[in-house]
Homo-oligomer: A and B are copies of this chain.
C-alpha cells in the first residue's frame, strides 16, 4: 500500500456565492464538506488511480469525526490517530462572478507530546507494509518543527521511498534528512533557496539534501532534478480552471508512478496530466478522469542538459 501522512488534517468547507460583498450578509446553500489537508487530497487521488492507500495523521473533535466520516465514503483506509484538540476547518468562498476564491485556513489543534508519540508508534507500525510514503502539508501547533525530518529518516531507514511536500521551516528541516523527493511549488522553492529562477532554485534545493526535486510550476508543468536526469514536463496547453489540489494530484502522480516502477519521465507525465486534469475539473480538488487519460499522451517531457543543472 501507499501511505499518506496528514498531520494537520482539515474539514474543508466550500461556499459558492454569486458575488462576495465584504460587510454584507449572504444567504448560501450548505457548505460542500470535504476531508482536507494535502495528504488526504493525495490519498483520494491515489485511491481513484486504483492504489491501495492508507491515510494516517492526527484528527480530533467534532470536525475530526466529520473528516473521518467523509473518508469512510472513499476506498482510502483510515488509520488516523485520535487527539483531543479539534481538527481545523478551512473555509473557501468561491465568487462566481469574479472567478476567484477567498480563503480562511485555521492554524490547527494543539497536539500534546503524548499524542505525537502515539502517532509516531502508529507510523512506524504502518511503514511495515508501505511501498511509498507521502508526507504532506503544514504542522499543527505542538508537533515538533523537526517532525518531518524524523519521519523521513524512519522511512529511509526501511528503504521506503518518501516524498515530502511542505513549506517553511518544516521543509528546511525535512529536506536535510534526505527525502527521496521534495515537491515544492515555485513560491516554496524561492522561499527555501532565495532565488526565483526555478532551475537554479531546484539545484540549490537538491544541494540541501533531497535526492530529487520535482517542482510544480503551475500552468508551466514541472521541473525535475533527479539522480537519473533532469527533465521539464509541460502540458499541451494551459487549462483554465481552479488550481486547488493540482499540486496534491501531482504528488499522487509521482508517487503512484514510483510504486509501479515507472521511470522518472513517465512519473512526470502522469503528475502533469493529473495536475492539469485537476485544474480542469468542475469541483475543487477533484480530477477529470477522461481528461487525465487524454492528456497523459500529450504531456511533453524533455531532458534538460546536465550543464543547466
Number of interface residues of A (CB under 8 A): 37
Q: Which residues of B contact A69 (CB under 8 A)?
A: 62
Partner of A107, one of B30, B63, B95, B106: B30
> A65 CA to B61 CA in the complex, in Å?
11
Chain B positions within 8 Å of A101 at CB level: 23
Report which residue of A62, A100, A103 has the largest number of chain B beta carbons within 10 angstroms of its beta carbon.
A62
Q: Shortest Cβ distance from A177 into chain B, in angstroms?
A: 26
**How far, in angstroms, from A27 to B106 measured CA to CA in the complex?**
6
Mark contacts of A23-34 with chain B using CB atoms, 8 A cut-off: 1 yes-contact digit, 0 otherwise.
111111111000
Interface-forming stretch among A85-93, A198-206, A233-241, A282-290? A85-93
Q: Determine if A15 and B62 form an interchain contact, defined as CB atoms under 8 angstroms apart.
A: no
Given contacts A13-B89, A89-B13, A89-B31, A26 and B62 within 8 Å (CB-CB): no
Quick one: which of A91, A100, A105 has the most chain B CB within 10 A? A91
Is the beta-carbon distance between A28 and B62 smaller than 8 angstroms? Answer: no
Does A102 sit within 8 A of B, measured CB to CB?
yes
**B22, A95: Cβ atoms under 8 Å?**
yes
Nearest chain B CB to A246 CB, angstrom units: 15
Is residue A20 contacting chain B, with contact meaning CB distance below 8 A?
Answer: yes
Give the number of copies in the complex.
2
A208 to B261, CA, bound (A): 77
Give the residues in chain B near A195, CB-CB below 8 Å.
Answer: none
Decide if A17 is an interface residue (CB 8 Å cutoff): yes
A193 within 8 A of B: no
- Is there contact, CB below 8 Å, between A86 and B30? yes
Most B-side CB within 10 Å, residue of A89, A98, A107: A89
Please pick, from B26, B86, B89, B102, the residue contacting A22 in the complex, using a CB distance under 8 A: B102
What residues of chain B lie closer than 8 Å to A107, measured between beta carbons?
A: 27-30
Chain A stretch 6-28: residues in CB contact (< 8 A) with chain B: 13, 15, 17, 20-28
The reply to whether the CB of A66 lies closer than 8 angstroms to some CB of chain B is: yes
Cβ–Cβ < 8 Å partners of A95 in chain B? 22-23
Assembled-state Cα–Cα distance A305/B62 (Å): 55
- Once the chains bind, are B23 and A102 in contact (CB under 8 Å)? yes
**Looking at the complex, which one of B26, B62, B93, B102 makes contact with A105 (CB distance below 8 Å)?**
B26
A157 within 8 A of B: no
- Judge whether B28 and A106 touch: CB under 8 Å: yes
Q: Which listed residue (B30, B100, B102) contacts A106, Cβ 8 A? A: B30
* CA A108 to CA B27, docked complex, whole Å: 10
Which residues of the other chain, B, contact A26 by a CB distance below 8 angstroms? 102-105
A residues near B (Cβ < 8 Å) are 13, 15, 17, 20-31, 62-63, 65-66, 69, 86, 88-89, 91, 93, 95, 98, 100-109
* 5 examples of A-B residue contacts, CB within 8 angstroms: A22-B22, A29-B107, A30-B86, A30-B88, A62-B63
